[in-house]
Amino acid sequence: MAENATESKMEEMQLNDGAAKEAATAAEEDIVDPWTVATSSEKGIDYDKLIKRFGSTKIDQALLDRFEKVTGHAPHHLLRRGVFFSQREVNKILDRYEAKKPFFLYTGRGPSSGSMHTGHLIPFVFTKWLQEVFDVPLVVQLTDDEKFLWKDLKAEEAFRLAKENAKDIIALGFDVEKTFIFSDMEYIGSSPAFYMNMIKIQKCVTYNQVKGIFGFTDSDCIGKISFPSIQAAPSFSTSFPQIFGGKKDIPCLIPCAIDQDPYFRMTRDVAPRLGYPKPALIHSTFFPALQGAKTKMSASEPNSSIFLTDTAKQIKTKINKYAFSGGGTSVEDHRERGGNCEIDIAYQYLTFFMEDDERLEQIRKDYTSGQLLTGDLKKELIVILQKVCADHQDRRKQVTDDILKEFMRPRKLKYDF
Helix (H, G, I), strand (E, B) or coil at 362: helix
What pLDDT does 236 receive?
A: 98
φ/ψ of 317, rounded to 5, equals -65, -45
- Name the pTM for this structure: 0.91
Question: Would you give the DSSP letter of residue 245?
Answer: T
CATH architecture assignment, domain 299-397 = Orthogonal Bundle (1.10)
Distance from C-alpha of 276 to C-alpha of 211, rounded to nearest angstrom:
24
Identify any residues that bridge with 104 across adjacent strands, giving them in sequence order.
Answer: 252
Amino acid 5: pLDDT: 47
Query: Which amino acid makes up residue 241?
Result: P
8-state DSSP, 84: E
Q: What pLDDT was estimated at residue 30?
A: 84
Q: The domain 2-290 belongs to what CATH superfamily?
A: HUPs (3.40.50.620)
Percent of the chain with pLDDT over 70: 91
pLDDT for position 28:
56
Counting residues of the chain whose pLDDT is more than 90, the rounded percentage is 83
Residue 222 to residues 45, 145, 225, 227, Cα–Cα distance (Å)? 31, 13, 5, 9
Q: What angle do CA 270, 37, 39 make, to 5 degrees?
A: 130
pLDDT at 113: 87
Q: How many C-beta neighbours within 10 Å does residue 99 have?
A: 7
Model pLDDT, residue 31: 87
Q: How confident is the model at residue 226 (pLDDT cuts 50, 70, 90)?
A: very high
What's the pLDDT score for residue 12? 52
For 290-320, the pLDDT digits (tens) are 998 775 555 567 788 899 999 999 999 999 9
**Residue 110 is which amino acid?**
G
- 361-369 contacts at long range (C-beta below 8 A, 24 or more positions apart): 367/326, 367/327, 367/338, 367/339, 367/341, 368/338, 368/339, 368/340, 368/341, 369/338
Task: Answer yes or no: are the C-beta atoms of 185 and 162 closer than 8 Å.
Answer: yes
Label residue 181 exposed, middle or buried (CB < 10 Å: 0-12, 13-18, 19+). Answer: buried
Q: What is the pLDDT of residues 242-300, one digit of tens each?
A: 999 999 999 999 999 999 999 999 999 999 999 999 999 999 999 999 998 775 555 56
How confident is residue 2, by pLDDT bands cut at 50, 70 and 90? very low
* Rounded CA separation 198/373 (Å): 54
Q: What is the pLDDT of residues 77-133, one digit of tens each?
A: 999 999 999 999 999 999 999 999 999 999 999 998 888 999 999 999 999 999 999
Closest listed residue to residue 69, CA positions, set 43, 97, 46, 42: 97
Q: What is the mean pLDDT of residues 226-235?
A: 98
Query: Under a CB-based contact definition with an 8 Å cutoff, are residues 234 and 106 in contact?
Result: yes
Whole-number pLDDT of residue 352: 96
Which pLDDT score, from 0 to 100, does residue 11 have? 56
- Range 333-345 average pLDDT: 93
Q: Can you give the pLDDT at residue 19?
A: 46
Q: Is pLDDT at 26 greater than 50 in this prediction?
A: no
pLDDT tens digits, residue range 46-80?
999 999 999 999 999 999 999 999 999 999 999 99
Q: Is the predicted pLDDT of residue 161 greater than 70, yes or no? A: yes
pLDDT above 70: residue 206:
yes
Complete DSSP assignment for 331-348:
HHHHHHH---TTT-HHHH
Question: 120: Cβ–Cβ under 8 A, 6 or more apart, which residues?
Answer: 109, 168, 299
pLDDT given for residue 6 in this prediction: 45
Question: What is the distance of C-alpha 312 from the center of its chain?
Answer: 26
**pLDDT band for position 43 (50/70/90)?**
confident
Q: What is the pLDDT of residue 300?
A: 61
**Confidence at 375, pLDDT banded by 50, 70, 90:** very high
* Residues 13, 7: Cα–Cα separation, whole Å: 10
- Of 260, 253, 321, 304, the residue nearest 282 (C-alpha): 253
Instruction: Centre a 10 Å sphere on the Cβ of residue 24 and count the other Cβ atoms it contains.
Output: 11
Distance of CA 3 to the CA centre of its chain: 28
- Over residues 378-405, mean pLDDT: 97
pLDDT at 40: 81
Other C-beta atoms lying within 10 Å of the C-beta of residue 27: 8
The residue ranges of every structural domain in the chain are 2-290, 299-397
Q: pLDDT category, 232, cuts 50, 70, 90?
A: very high
